[in-house]
Amino acid sequence: RPVVVSGLTAWRAAIEDSYKLVTGLGGGAVLHDLSENPYEDVNIADRNPDVVARLMNVIDLAREQV
């Protein structure tokens, strides 16, 4: 499954399907379902730990390749 990873300074983001995970903003991981919440104002990380773990793993792998 394709995943887009981006980052600048301390923050990182990974987008997979409709999920977008952002880290490094100082408050822990933030997960949004862009199909349900296009304005990104509801953090669903607590309700989707499996998605957070999977996308965190992708971000960690991308960091290792840089």
Residues 14-52 pLDDT 10s: 999 999 999 887 778 999 999 999 999 999 999 999 999
**Burial of residue 10 (number of CB atoms within 10 Å: 0-12, 13-18, 19+):** exposed
For residues 38 and 64, the model is more confident at: 38
Task: For residue 48, give Cα distances in angstroms to 11, 52, 55, 56.
Answer: 20, 6, 11, 12
Contact between residue 58 and residue 16 where contact means Cβ atoms under 8 Å apart: yes
| 10/8 Cα distance (integer angstroms) | 6
Contact between residue 19 and residue 12 where contact means Cβ atoms under 8 Å apart: no
